[in-house]
Amino acid sequence: MGSTIIEKIVRNNIGRAVHPGEIVTVNVDRVMIHDIFIPFVASKFEEMGFSKIWDADKAVLIYDHLVPASQVDDTRHFRIGNEFVEKYGMKNIHRADGICHQLMTEAGYVKPGDIVFGTDSHTTTYGCVGAFSSGIGYTEMASILGTGTLWIRVPETIKVHITGKLPENVMAKDIILKLIGDLGADGATYKALEFTGDTVENMTVASRMSMSNMAIEAGAKCALFTPDEKTAAYCNITLTEKELDLAGDEDAQYCRVMEYRAEEFVPVMACPSNVDNVKPVAELAGKEIDQVFIGSCTNGRLEDLMAAAEILKGKHVAPFVKLIVTPASRKIYREADANGTLAVLAEAGAIITHPSCGLCCGRTGGILTDGETVIATNNRNFLGRMGTSKVNIYLASPKSAAACAVAGKIVAP
């Protein structure tokens, strides 16, 4: 019997075949801790009695949610983080370079076949390069820092097969939102999503990142793409035989197979206040908006900013609508500046911020109040995420978001 991608990754890690439901202890290749959790990780690490990190070179600390500080207590996280880094000899620290999930692959910390854990639920993002990555709590993270291992239950796999060519104004964000709507917020709980088909093969790594990033919104443990030449170029590596083999076998066992035709996708939005409340943009057209946010670890990459600029070029944001644009990293910021994308966005009236999580987690400017409506390209629209509990958050692709910014209401791109 063949194997799924997740089964192959775990098999390669522990040295023997595995099956779904089996509990195994894996050797961790990399961990990521972000600024929100570092005080709790540090405290739990010392409470457990550890005196050193199992491999300081494999741990990464990233300040992104709280940069720059917007509340008095935020600086405590920086202080404790800096003390932890100095005490235990951590070398991989990013204090204002961008969002953790962008940096982990962009900076080369993750490669195909790796097993990676992070203190943020959207750690599933690294599946875009064929890595098993998942979010964990601070207790588990402290344990990994001390031992280099973690037990997991091998997930069952849902295969998502997409074929054909996407319509012009449909982006990867529309695909993953549609899938979450079909699965429901708990439809993939503790399962792996495995994406296949020629539509997926033709996607950029950035588009795959948008999809693996949001897999957690259907409850998935991870989301995996088969490494290819695009992956190799992005990671700046030559794929090994094992990495090239990270594809689901024809006779692999899946708990569910979902088939889609790319031509049938349309621009969609996740409506307040659940990510699986997904509807076509055309059905929502006409609702007035107050703000648009383009950024986050879901859609803050160069291709996202360029897609928005394509819609906004020669136009201007509607009166009384704020457009906030937040690149996912300093590298992306520089690239968008160099190719003129930021100039187009600024000319259209966008407020361009420093790279960070920003408004996605309700920080560093742009929060809204009762009755206001925002179109956002991030990954969650829960009550109170971007201001008060009476803010209406619609999740959309960068193209849809940009079109709404110009119109001052919900429109299809």
Domains of the chain: 5-262 (3.30.499.10), 269-407 (3.30.499.10)
DSSP for 374-399, written as a single string:
EEE-SS---TTTTBSTT-EEEE--HH
pTM, two decimals, is 0.97
Tokens of 131: 């890595």
C-alpha Rg value of the chain to the nearest Å:
21
Q: What is the pLDDT of residue 215?
A: 98
Strand duo 278-280 + 291-295: pairing: unpaired
Q: What is the pLDDT of residue 148?
A: 98
DSSP code for 274: -
Largest CA distance in the chain: 61
Q: What element of type H or E holds 113?
A: none
Which amino acid, residue 177?
L
Entry field: residues in the chain:
413
Contact 339, 327 (CB under 8 A): no
Query: Residue 365: which of 38, 101, 67, 122 has the closest Cα?
Result: 67
Q: What is the pLDDT of residue 72?
A: 86
Q: What is the pLDDT of residue 70?
A: 86
Contact 164, 262 (CB under 8 A): yes
Q: What is the pLDDT of residue 364?
A: 77
| Per-residue pLDDT of the chain in tens (413 residues, 90 and over written 9) | 899 999 999 999 999 999 999 999 999 999 999 999 999 999 999 999 999 999 999 999 999 999 998 888 899 999 999 999 999 999 999 999 999 999 999 999 999 999 999 999 999 999 999 999 999 999 999 999 999 999 999 999 999 999 999 999 999 999 999 999 999 999 999 999 999 999 999 999 999 999 999 999 999 999 999 999 999 999 999 999 999 999 999 999 999 999 999 999 999 999 999 999 999 999 999 999 999 999 999 999 999 999 999 999 999 999 999 999 999 999 999 999 999 999 999 999 999 999 999 999 888 789 999 999 999 999 999 999 999 999 999 999 999 999 999 999 999 99
Q: What is the pLDDT of residue 1?
A: 84
Query: Residue 290: which of 309, 262, 318, 328 has the closest Cα?
Result: 318
Q: What is the pLDDT of residue 363?
A: 81
